[in-house]
Each structure stands twice: as C-alpha cells, then as structure tokens.
Amino acid sequence: MVVIMRPAASDSEVAGVVQRIEKFGMQAHLSRGKERTIIGLIGDEREIDFDSIAALPGVERAIPILKPYKYVSREVHPETATIAVGDVVIGRDLVFMAGPCSVEEEDTTLRIAEQCRRAGAQIFRAGAYKPRTSAWSFQGLREKGLQILAKVRQATGLPVVTEVVDTADIQIVGQYADMYQVGMRNMRNYALLGELGKTDKPVLLKRGDSAKLEEWLAAADYVARNGNDKIILCERGIRTFEDYTRNTLDLNAVGGAITESCLPIVVDPSHGTGRAELVAPMSRAAVAAGAHGLMLEVHDNPRLAWSDGKQSIVPAELERLIQDCRRIHELTR
Amino acid sequence: MVVIMRPAASDSEVAGVVQRIEKFGMQAHLSRGKERTIIGLIGDEREIDFDSIAALPGVERAIPILKPYKYVSREVHPETATIAVGDVVIGRDLVFMAGPCSVEEEDTTLRIAEQCRRAGAQIFRAGAYKPRTSAWSFQGLREKGLQILAKVRQATGLPVVTEVVDTADIQIVGQYADMYQVGMRNMRNYALLGELGKTDKPVLLKRGDSAKLEEWLAAADYVARNGNDKIILCERGIRTFEDYTRNTLDLNAVGGAITESCLPIVVDPSHGTGRAELVAPMSRAAVAAGAHGLMLEVHDNPRLAWSDGKQSIVPAELERLIQDCRRIHELTR
Amino acid sequence: MVVIMRPAASDSEVAGVVQRIEKFGMQAHLSRGKERTIIGLIGDEREIDFDSIAALPGVERAIPILKPYKYVSREVHPETATIAVGDVVIGRDLVFMAGPCSVEEEDTTLRIAEQCRRAGAQIFRAGAYKPRTSAWSFQGLREKGLQILAKVRQATGLPVVTEVVDTADIQIVGQYADMYQVGMRNMRNYALLGELGKTDKPVLLKRGDSAKLEEWLAAADYVARNGNDKIILCERGIRTFEDYTRNTLDLNAVGGAITESCLPIVVDPSHGTGRAELVAPMSRAAVAAGAHGLMLEVHDNPRLAWSDGKQSIVPAELERLIQDCRRIHELTR
Amino acid sequence: MVVIMRPAASDSEVAGVVQRIEKFGMQAHLSRGKERTIIGLIGDEREIDFDSIAALPGVERAIPILKPYKYVSREVHPETATIAVGDVVIGRDLVFMAGPCSVEEEDTTLRIAEQCRRAGAQIFRAGAYKPRTSAWSFQGLREKGLQILAKVRQATGLPVVTEVVDTADIQIVGQYADMYQVGMRNMRNYALLGELGKTDKPVLLKRGDSAKLEEWLAAADYVARNGNDKIILCERGIRTFEDYTRNTLDLNAVGGAITESCLPIVVDPSHGTGRAELVAPMSRAAVAAGAHGLMLEVHDNPRLAWSDGKQSIVPAELERLIQDCRRIHELTR
C-alpha cells in the first residue's frame, strides 16, 4: 500500500499513519518531498482493512499495490493450470462445451447432445437449476433435469457441466455433474464458492456482469483457498449502456486473465451477445484472443427452445464454427 | 407482448407467430400496415418464454409490455406497504437505521449502539456475516456477532437488522435478528430470496450494483411469491465508470420505486458514496427525493473501524443529519 | 506522481526512471522497500506525458497525484465563485433557469417565458441550435431562434441562456445570449471550450454523459486558462445500464464538485430523469445535496412541445417546485 | 412507431393519439385488445418528434421501430461500401493503418513511418491536433505537424490520416491529409460532421465512448446526408466500470455494424485496451470478428513517445501482427 499524505499534513498525522502500520506488524517507509510525504507499507496488506489506514487524518489517498487474490495469481503459479473434466483436459487443447440453455425433455436433450457430439463438442452443457430474472419464468427441471444429464453422459460419453445455485444443492448436483457451473448471478455468492472449494470437482466460474477482472479472480480465490484449485474462468459479457447486444462481451478480459492468473479461461459468446448471428464471429474472435475454449448454446430448433432461443445456434453452425476455431487456434498457438 | 415483423415477412411467417401465441393459450391481434405487420399478444406473457416468440422467423423485434413482477407492483397494490420491525414502522414515518459496518467487540458495539440511539436512530445495523471482495479480508464474527447483536437489542431496546448470506444461515440469523438484510451481492441469489419468503421476518433487499429497477422489483417478487410480503427496498448505489465515489447513488430509483411498486424504500448513502463527507448531503437528498428512511454506517472512531472506516460518520454527525432530514421530510410530505 | 516498480526491477531500471524524471527538470525521491522500490516525482506532473514514465521498463504502475486541472480547483481558489448573469448572481442564492427545450414560435415562447417568470424563474432557457441524435430530427430555429430569445429578454427582463455548438457560431450566439451553454455532447470539444475562454460571457458547462468528475473539471480548465473564469457546472446525468430513466442523475457529483472545485454547480433534473413525474422530487434532492440552482424544461402544453415533451413540467408545477426548493435551501444553508 | 396505451386509457385518449399521428400526415392503425389498445404509426417516424406522441395522455409507452439513420443503413445499401484512400481500398481487403499517437519531430516521424511501411502498414496515422483531457498536456504540433505528415507521404508513398477537431480547421487539415479522422470526443459534434459531409475526402469516424451502435450510425448519417458517403467506422472501445484496461473494446459492435450498416469498420485495439501486451491478441480477435482493418499505435521507442507510450507496440510486433491477421483473414473470409 502506498499512502499519499495531504500537502498540509502535520508531523503528528504522518506519525499516526506510521504507528498504525506498525501496529499491524508491518513496516512503513517514509519519502518526504517538498510538497508532501509519501508512505509505503511493507507487508501483506490483504490482511488488514484498507480503510483503517485510508481514513486516518492527513491522508489524501491510499493506493493498494497487492492484488486482492493470491492462490490463482500467475505470480504465484507461473504455469497455466490444466484441469481434467472426464477425459477432456481444459487449459491444454481447445475445448468446446455445447448444449441447450435448459435441460429439456429426455428425448430432445439426448438428440441435441448427440448432435453436439457429432459436431465436435467435447462437454455437454444444460441447466437443470435455472436462475431467471422473473419469478414467473420457467425455473428448470431440477433433480429430474440432473437425471436426464446422467443419461446424456451414458449415451454420448460426454462429461456434463451444469449450474449449481445454492449450497444446499451442492451434494445432489455433484452426484450427477462432472463439473459445477457458477452462474454470473452467483459469482459473489461467497458461501457457495467456499463450499465448492471443499469438493473435488472442477468449478466453471462465470464472471459477474458488474465484476472487474480483479474481483473475479478474487472470487476464484474463495474456491481455491478451501483446497479446490480446479477452477476454469468463463467470460460471458458485462453489463454496459449498449443494448444492441444482451451483454458486452469483454475479450480484453481474456488476455487480462491470462496475464494475471494461472487459470484457464473459456468464453460464452451466446450470453455475451444474445444474438445467434453474432455467435460464430465472436467465437472466432475469442479463440484468436487466446481463449482455451468456448461454451455455446445449441438447439436443433431454437424457436422451440425452452429458454434463450434467440441466442442459440443449430448443430450445423456449431460444426462449422468448431472447424473455423480450430484452424485459428492452430495459427495463433 | 408486441411482435414487430420484418418488412419482408411472409404470410406464413406471420401465421407462424400467431400459431405459437395461440399454442400458449393466448390470443393474437394482427395489425397489418403497408410496410409491416404488428402482432399483439393478449394474455400473461410472463408465463411463456420470451425468446420462443422473439426467435421465430420473420420477427424483427418482440417487445415485452408486462413487467417481470406482479406481487410487489403498485398496479396490484395501490397502497404503500407499512412494515413493522419491532416497534418501528417502515413506510409511514421516516426511519433511521445506524451502526458500524461490522459487529465489533461487545463493548465497542454496545457503546456505538447507545450513541446511535441517543442521536435518534431507531434500528441498529451491523454485519456479523461479511461478504468481502477478497477471501483474505475479515469475514465477520458470524454467530458470535449475532450474540452481540442480541445484547445490543436488550441493552438499547433497538431492533436489529443484519445480513444473511446463505440459505444455511437463515435459521440462526433469524433467531437473533429482527430483520434480514440481503446484500447487493446476493440480490440475484434467488435460492436465498425464495427461502426468506418462507419466513415471517421483514427482509431488507439491497439493490444489486448492476440491477435495473425492474430486475430489483422482480427479485422482490421471489420473496413475496413464497408468502412473505414484508419487504423493504434499499438503494445503495450502482456501478458506473465514475470512480470518484465508491458507487453512483441512484436517487432517480427512489421515485421510480415509489411509482412502480408498493414497497417502502430506504437509502444507504454510506455505500452509495463511500466518502464520509458526502453522507450528510446525500442523506438530505434521499429524503427530499421521497425515501422512507436511511441506513447509515456510524462509528465513534472511524479510523479504528474494522471495515469501511472511510465512509463512516460519527454520532454527532448522525444527530445533526437526522434533525436536518426530519425537517426536510416535514416540508415535503 | 508515484511510480511503483515491479518486485523484480533491476537497479538500472530504477535508475532509468530517475533519469527520465530528472530530464523533465523534476526531482525523484526513492523509497526502497524489501520487496520493491517506490519513486515519488516532485514537480508539476501535469506538464509531462504520463505514459512516458508509465511505459518505462521495470515500472509496475504509475499513479498520478495531481488533478488534471488547476484553475478551477478549490485548492487554488478556496472561495466559491459568484457569477453574474444579467442581474442574477449564481453561486450565492438559489437560482432557477426554466423554459422549453427548443425555442418555438415567437408567441408560444414569449407566453411560456412569462409563465416561467411568474412562477419564480430568474433566467430563461431554450435551444436555438439543437444537437439531435438523428440527422432527421428538428435541429432548431438557429438565428431566428436567437432573435426570439432577444425578444423574450426584452419582454420579461429575464436574462437568457442558450446552447452554442460550434466555434463558428460563438459570435452570433454571443450577440443575443447572456450566457453560453455547452451541451453534454460538446463537453470534450476543446476547440469550442478554448474559444469560449476568450469571450467575457458566462459559460454553463454541462457534464458529458461519460465524463468522470475530474474530466469535467479538466474541461472547465480549458475555458479558464484562456481568461474566462465565469464558469457554471451543470450536472445532467450520466449514461449507465439503467434505462428506466433517460440518464442516471448523479447527485454525488454535486458534493464532489463543491469539494474539489470553486465553481458553482446547478442541476438539470429534466434530462437527468427524462420523466416529468421525477423532476420535482429530484429538484428537491438536488437542492438538499447543495446545488446552487436548477435548470428545468417547462412547457404549458408538453404534448405539443417541439422536443422533449415527456420530461417537461407545466408552469404550475414549476411554481410549487421553486417554493419547495427555496424552503429546503433555507434549512440546509 | 408502436404506441402502447395504458389499460385504463379512455376512448378520447386513443382518439387523441390517432389525431396527432394524422396531423403529422401519417396513418394510424388501431389494434384493440381486451386489456389495452395498441396503435401503429405508418410513415417515416424520424421526421416527427418522438415525445410529441409519447407524452400524450393515456400513452404507457411509445416504441420506435425505424432506426435513427437512413443513408448508412444496410437496408438502403445492401452492398458494403468500398472507399479509396490514395491507392488503398478500405472495405475490400484487410487494411492496416499505423503510426505514433502524435506527430513528433520530423526525423522521428519519418523513421517510424518507414518502419511501419516495411512492416506492412498501408496508411500512416499520427495526430497533429491532439484533444487531451487536461488543458495542461501537450496539444499537438498543429500546422507544423500537418507539414510533417505531408513529408511522410512524399517519402514513403503512404496516404495519411489525421484528426480534425474543429470546423475552422477542416480546410487546412484537408490540404495535407488523405483522410479526416473524427475522434471519439467529437463523434457527437454534429457541426463538425455536417461540414465534413461537404468535403470529398474520406472520414474515419471513431465511436464515442458512450455511444450505442445506433447513435454511432446516426452520427455517420450527419456526414452522409450532406453528400459525402465515404465514411469508415472505427471501434475504439467504450467506457465501462472495468479499469484494468483503458476502455472496453466492444467487438460485438463489429458484427453489429456489419449487420446494420453498409459502411466498412476498422478497429483500434491500442485505445481499446490501453496496454501494449493486449494489442496483438485483440488485433487478431478483431479480424476474426470480421473487421475490415486495424488502426494501431506504433513507436520504435514507446518510452520516448510524446503520448500514449503505454499502448504503443514496436515495428517488429507490428510486422508479426500483420502476418497473423492476414492469415486469420484468409481463413474467415
């Protein structure tokens, strides 16, 4: 932490800051200029309350230097993590996850899963627990949906990823899924993240739609600190003033996450755009930007999808998209 | 829902939309113009998936007319709800909730509570479960904190409000608190909201920092639909590009909530500004805009506060602020 | 400026930063910690390019300390400026500016102006040059509109403020107007601001809808640096994800501007909300937050207004609003 | 326009809306449902004031159907425009524009231009008129800078693009430049856009940092409507809450612009990220998303750059980037 004192700060105000820093068991370094004094804190500032220093008299501004995360930082882990989901390894080769937004009736779900597999997808995705903005919308098939997912895995051999929305559901979802998904609404549900940190299944952590990169990585630390370091980041767009698209897909965050963190990152252009016609170009763009994989909403009859039909692509589009992305990945690796 | 067809939409595409609407058991009204056809859906559009119509061929745009909430809408409940928290009634008179960000040691907490009571506060607030951005920051005293809150109520007679962050904690928090608080990070934790809807204690629902007004009201519907209609809204700022303040306090939302919903609304200018010197002017502004109360972070030694010291005011400021706000309230009621 | 070196920065990288600072004729202060070195720059950092130091090898982060403005800062001018517009003084008493969005036909404009005067408004506002999002919308009466404004002043005695959108129009607008208005679209049109700095008429500077507080004040410096320090700030809302209102009125910025700058600040709740029913509560809120005045769109028949009818209030509402605001102002001064 | 009446709207209110529509010379289509009436307006709604109908009594909401632009829409011009800048054609092949942020001293500028040319750049970019946030920062060499640009063209054969910031400078900039650049701060400077519409030189129109896609295209219409249809869009990032990067590069807008408009679109990942290490991946991503070209800040000694050194790449990086992008372009065309 760097503490910038006001030009008019008195000697006793400067001494007050130094004392507070030392009370926390850390060291203070003074730099007295003509106009103002600057104080550097040496030690792990994450363990003290930032405001307890920023609010001291005479302080103009206190600036954090350390990131609010440790475990998932590239500084600590220089190598990108590789994470196995069934037989699929994320963080090494390019991985495609695909499926409908919601788990639907068994035969529909199985049929779409088989189409996704043939198109080249390696992991099946579909929601059994659906957090929806309106309490009046379809909320998912819940346990019945999980059972259908198990049948998909059996029939297709594809591992499955599905969302978990409450600590009370972790156990049952874990019985059926190969990877937990934390949706954007729950990125800051630290109770949920902490409990997932006690499991041994991979966790796909979607970015909250108002989360800065460093807050997202700090959320990942809640999982990692409890012992589970199998975390995959998923960029799915942030909320901005632009309403042409459902969200603003922030591909800057792909490069940023790779720079700052050891975790693999995948991109969800379905939610990131909300428009089927933009899914293919933004998938290619995500791979060109360095993403380790993609998560895609696919339906063989989007207008009959139980949710999110407007952003679903059909299996034939998926196949072409996967081929294009693989070629771009070859070029840029 | 109003469905606007593309200029080039064929008759069979128009018929497709009409059929889909009728399949949902609703009625379609056609308006054929020279350039394009517009189709109105008559019925409760909240019960169908929006995209299942928006994604049909020939559709340019589908526009929802109904709000995504029912129970908490003023259309359904023309009178503003009044909600008792202990002896205090929110929604009728101006109510002040005050206290430190976190529950601290017993004597400190009791001392501050007594100072808040003398300054005119009617409800005590402090966090026992603290969701913090970094897994490395202080996370609250948890059950020990709840016990201290119970002592505060006994000693001061003030009802207490405190945050609940997980469905697993609802019971224990309910044993100690007079009102549950749902923090901004959990506004879209619908599992938590649904379970709180099964309790009979009031719920203070903070706005998510990326939530539109209608999404916030839709979140309240998750509580109300399960039987608990004792909900108080709390505006606490949204996330924008402006970083001079911690958040952008959106007082437009006070008037908006009063127009659209029957729920009372209070304002938290401590988080809404993040700067102690802005708390008093924004408190006055909130009351002038029509808020039913305020929630304030108060500490008798902000630089020693365990969290959020930079935005805490001292008891003397609280007293003056309450007097100013009461006079403005008198003028504008 | 404070320069934070990377933990692994070499001695020669540190020396490189020091040399660069000294090359600019400034002094460098070193603070060597165990983990990293921090370098403070002593001198006026505004005169050098920030990146020329931030981009040096070994630098982790460079943090500006000085604000990007000087002339309009409260540090330099501790007293709030008072600015005369005709007989009206802004920055001392509460000032109300009112009128239709656009200058309309002469009799309509005169009639509304007279109604505004009777309701208590002290300055008349209306646009002759209208920047509109679509090239296909009504763009204002231009010089004919300015002539109507001159007649309003003659008939009512009210000084007039109107927008100028191009350096080429400064002279002609100045012949008719008592105060120039710079709209939010032109807040960063520095050529226009610089030229207005060479006039001797007051300038009402609206905040850009994506401008941080410090960028807004930096824009004011473009006017002040050329000799014209008669600048009034006008908060009119920023662009956020919330679309219930036309903009998000940021009343935090009122207190912020008063803290950081010597300029008076008025608020425009008409554009800040875009909804007539929110104009009165947000006007009261703005005054409670400390604003020096208000700018309001008024029309005696909003549905016939040539533009912005949805956010216009009628003269009777204006009268009541002014009375309420004056009483709140009395309480909080 | 579609007008949705309130459920309680009276017959006379409905008739009022119909009359107003017909007064504008357009036709109204009524659709009476059980709960409410919906009215469609047939005709060019761009020519009337939206609020003059939205503000009528009984109206719940009025929804525009037509876009606020005509000339630059793909509906009107199905073919993507091809625009010649010197010998280079934008909108056909992939085009690279490169150079330093500011025009610097003659020898430096010439040297960098030559390096850019050798690396594969086809157009030279550098700013002579620099709009800077602070009035105290370097504002560009102005006419002297233009003269240096002319020498660059002579020496390298590269056409040059440079920013124009005021109507008063259009003539002189036009004497030297092959293409005008309108910066993001001036995207809504409609006076400037209108005057550029009267010239015959291509205009590179950067997106404003708070502009929605449709507002950006509407700004282009200001140029096109005055006769100059040689317009190239440039996505350069929007302002969001994320501060890890200087802006949030919105590649969704590339696909969106291609869908909605006939104009070619290039991307500026230098400003769109503000970080040199993200320029190459985001360049590749932009091309994969369908961009017609890139605009890049290049300097052979970024730490000595007069501005924006932190986001400048060196010529060797440019060369590699151009090769990678050309290969991706081959794959995805």
The answer to whether residues B48 and B146 belong to one domain is no
Number of Cβ within 10 Å of residue C25's Cβ equals 10
Q: Identify which of C295, C321, C309 has the alpha carbon closest to the alpha carbon of residue C236.
A: C295
Q: Report the 3 state secondary structure along A135-192.
A: CCCCCCCCHHHHHHHHHHHHHHCCCEEEECCCHHHHHHHHHHCCEEEECHHHCCCHHH
Look at residue D34 in the predicted model and tell me its pLDDT: 65
Residue whose pair of structure tokens reads 């990877």 in the numeric block: A179
C57 interaction partners in chain D (CB closer than 8 Å): 303
The answer to whether residues D295 and D188 belong to one domain is yes
Cβ contact B288:C281 at 8 Å? yes
Judge whether residue B332 has pLDDT over 90: no
A227 interaction partners in chain B (CB closer than 8 Å): none
The beta-carbon neighbor of A332 closest among D210, D254, D324 is: D324
CB contact under 8 A, C134 and D69: yes
Quick one: average pLDDT of C270-288?
Answer: 97
The number of C-alpha atoms within 13 Å of A75 and in the hemisphere containing its C-beta is 11
Q: Identify which of B230, D175, B201, B134 has the alpha carbon closest to the alpha carbon of residue A72.
A: B134
A56 CA: distance to closest CA in chain B (Å): 5
Planar angle of CA A189, A191, A192, nearest 5 degrees = 70
Residue A78 falls inside a structural domain: no
**Percentage of chain C exceeding pLDDT 90:** 73
Helix (H, G, I), strand (E, B) or coil at B256: helix
Residue B36 falls inside a structural domain: yes
Q: Give the span between the Cα atoms of B188 and A239, in whole angstroms.
A: 15
Q: Give the span between the Cα atoms of D219 and D217, in whole angstroms.
A: 5
Q: Identify which of A187, A137, A134 has the alpha carbon closest to the alpha carbon of residue A164.
A: A187
pLDDT tens, position by position, B84-140: 999 999 999 999 999 999 999 999 999 999 999 999 999 999 999 998 888 888 889
The answer to whether residues D175 and D112 belong to one domain is yes
Structure tokens at D90: 């934008």
Cβ contact D255:D289 at 8 Å? yes
B277 interaction partners in chain C (CB closer than 8 Å): 255, 259
Q: Give the span between the Cα atoms of A184 and A182, in whole angstroms.
A: 7
Give partners of A (≥3 CB pairs < 8 A). Answer: B, C, D
Q: Identify which of C218, C217, C227 has the alpha carbon closest to the alpha carbon of residue C196.
A: C227
B282 interaction partners in chain C (CB closer than 8 Å): 251-252, 255, 289
Look at residue C3 in the predicted model and tell me its pLDDT: 87
Look at residue B180 in the predicted model and tell me its pLDDT: 98
Query: Which amino acid appears at position A312 of this protein?
Result: S
Digit-by-digit pLDDT tens for chain D (333 residues) are: 888 888 888 999 999 999 888 888 888 888 776 677 888 787 777 767 777 788 888 888 888 877 889 899 998 899 999 999 999 999 999 999 999 999 999 999 999 999 999 999 999 999 999 988 888 888 899 999 999 999 999 999 999 999 999 999 999 999 999 999 999 999 999 999 999 999 999 999 999 999 999 999 999 999 999 999 999 999 999 999 999 999 999 999 999 999 999 999 999 999 999 999 999 999 999 999 999 999 999 999 887 777 777 899 999 999 999 999 999 999 987
A320 CA: distance to closest CA in chain B (Å): 21
Q: Identify which of C174, C1, B303, B106 has the alpha carbon closest to the alpha carbon of residue C17.
A: C1
Look at residue A33 in the predicted model and tell me its pLDDT: 67
- Give phi and psi for D121, each to the nearest 5: -70, 145
The answer to whether residues A51 and A172 belong to one domain is no
The answer to whether residues A193 and A124 belong to one domain is yes
The beta-carbon neighbor of A46 closest among B20, B136, B188 is: B136
Structure tokens at C162: 């109107």
CB contact under 8 A, B69 and A135: yes
Planar angle of CA B262, B264, B265, nearest 5 degrees = 125
Structure tokens at B197: 């809807």
Q: Give the span between the Cα atoms of C16 and A238, in whole angstroms.
A: 39
B325 CA: distance to closest CA in chain A (Å): 26
Q: Identify which of A112, A177, A110 has the alpha carbon closest to the alpha carbon of residue A146.
A: A177
**Residue D61, H or E segment:** strand D59-63
Quick one: average pLDDT of A27-34?
Answer: 76
Residue A77 falls inside a structural domain: no
> Which residue of chain C has the CA closest to D222?
C135
Query: Which CATH number goes with the domain that contains B315?
Result: 3.20.20.70
Residue whose pair of structure tokens reads 């927008």 in the numeric block: C163
Give D302's strand partners: none
Which of residues C13, C33, C63 is at a domain's end? C63
Look at residue A155 in the predicted model and tell me its pLDDT: 98
- Give phi and psi for C202, each to the nearest 5: -60, 150
Separation of CA D227 from chain center: 18
The answer to whether residues D136 and D214 belong to one domain is yes
pLDDT tens, position by position, C230-241: 999 999 999 999
Q: Average pLDDT of chain B?
A: 93
Look at residue A34 in the predicted model and tell me its pLDDT: 65
The number of C-alpha atoms within 13 Å of C94 and in the hemisphere containing its C-beta is 25
> Which residue of chain D has the CA closest to A212?
D242
Domain count along chain C: 2
Which residues neighbour D75 within 8 Å (Cβ) at sequence distance 6 or greater?
A: none
Query: E-assigned strands of chain B?
Result: 2-5, 27-32, 37-42, 59-63, 83-85, 88-90, 95-99, 123-125, 160-163, 179-182, 203-206, 231-235, 265-267, 293-297
Residue A112 falls inside a structural domain: yes
The answer to whether residues B134 and B53 belong to one domain is no
Q: Report the 3 state secondary structure along A51-95.
A: HHHHCCCCEEEEECCCCCCCCCECCCCCCCCCEEECCEEECCECE
Q: Whats the size of chain D, residue-wise?
A: 333
B313 interaction partners in chain C (CB closer than 8 Å): none
Q: Identify which of A50, D61, A239 has the alpha carbon closest to the alpha carbon of residue B101.
A: A50
Residue whose pair of structure tokens reads 């503490």 in the numeric block: A3
Between the CA atoms of B191, B194, B198 and B204, what dihedral angle is there, to the nearest 10 degrees? Answer: 100
The answer to whether residues A188 and A267 belong to one domain is yes
The answer to whether residues B134 and B234 belong to one domain is yes
Structure tokens at C273: 């909300």
**Residue B293 banded pLDDT, cuts 50, 70, 90:** very high
Which of residues B63, B97, B115 is at a domain's end? B63
The ipTM is 0.93
The answer to whether residues D142 and D196 belong to one domain is yes
Residue A167 falls inside a structural domain: yes
Cβ contact D207:D184 at 8 Å? yes
Separation of CA D44 from chain center: 25
Look at residue B21 in the predicted model and tell me its pLDDT: 87
Which residues neighbour B307 within 8 Å (Cβ) at sequence distance 6 or greater?
A: A49, A51, B101, B102, B130, B132, B137, B138
Structure tokens at B210: 């990326």
Residue C14 burial by Cβ neighbours in a 10 Å radius (0-12, 13-18, 19+):
buried
Structure tokens at C107: 């009799």
Q: What DSSP letter does each residue of B79-96 carry, written as one string?
A: SPP-EEETTEEETTB-EE
Q: Which residues of A104-141 are buried (b: 16+ CB within 10 A; e: fewer)?
A: beeebbbebbbbbbebbbbbbbbbbbbbbbbbbbebbb
Residue C71 falls inside a structural domain: no
A327 CA: distance to closest CA in chain D (Å): 8
Look at residue C137 in the predicted model and tell me its pLDDT: 80
Measured CA distances, C70 to C66, C75, C229, C255, D137 (Å): 9, 8, 12, 19, 12
Quick one: average pLDDT of C171-195?
Answer: 97
pLDDT tens, position by position, A63-116: 887 788 989 999 889 999 999 999 999 999 999 999 999 999 999 999 999 999
**Residue D205, H or E segment:** strand D203-206
The answer to whether residues A147 and A108 belong to one domain is yes
Which of residues D32, D63, D94 is at a domain's end? D63
A33 interaction partners in chain C (CB closer than 8 Å): 27, 29, 40, 42
Which residues neighbour A261 within 8 Å (Cβ) at sequence distance 6 or greater?
A: A69, A72, A73, A74, A217, A220, A233
Interface test with A, best of C21, C27, C38 (most A CBs within 10 A): C38
Judge whether residue C220 has pLDDT over 90: yes
A251 interaction partners in chain D (CB closer than 8 Å): 249, 251, 282, 285
Give A123's strand partners: A97
A55 interaction partners in chain B (CB closer than 8 Å): 276, 302-303, 305, 309-310, 312
B74 CA: distance to closest CA in chain D (Å): 14
Measured CA distances, D302 to A107, A247, B231, C18, D108 (Å): 59, 34, 56, 17, 12
Which residues neighbour C165 within 8 Å (Cβ) at sequence distance 6 or greater?
A: C129, C131, C183, C185, C186, C192, D189, D190, D191
The answer to whether residues D24 and D160 belong to one domain is no
Q: What is the DSSP letter of D48?
A: S
Interface test with B, best of C63, C73, C209, C242 (most B CBs within 10 A): C242
Which residues neighbour B137 within 8 Å (Cβ) at sequence distance 6 or greater?
A: A46, A49, A68, B130, B307
Structural domain of B313: 83-332
Q: Give the span between the Cα atoms of B148 and B100, in whole angstroms.
A: 13
Look at residue D64 in the predicted model and tell me its pLDDT: 80
Helices (H) and strands (E) in chain D — how many of each?
Answer: 11, 14
Residue D178 falls inside a structural domain: yes
Measured CA distances, D294 to D94, D153, D253, D314 (Å): 8, 19, 14, 15
Interface test with A, best of D242, D258, D321 (most A CBs within 10 A): D242
- Give phi and psi for B330, each to the nearest 5: -60, -45
Residue B70 falls inside a structural domain: no
Number of Cβ within 10 Å of residue B87's Cβ equals 10
Helix (H, G, I), strand (E, B) or coil at B180: strand
pLDDT tens, position by position, D127-136: 999 988 888 8
**Percentage of chain A exceeding pLDDT 90:** 73
Structure tokens at C3: 């320069």
Measured CA distances, A141 to A33, A128, A303, A331, B45 (Å): 65, 5, 19, 42, 20
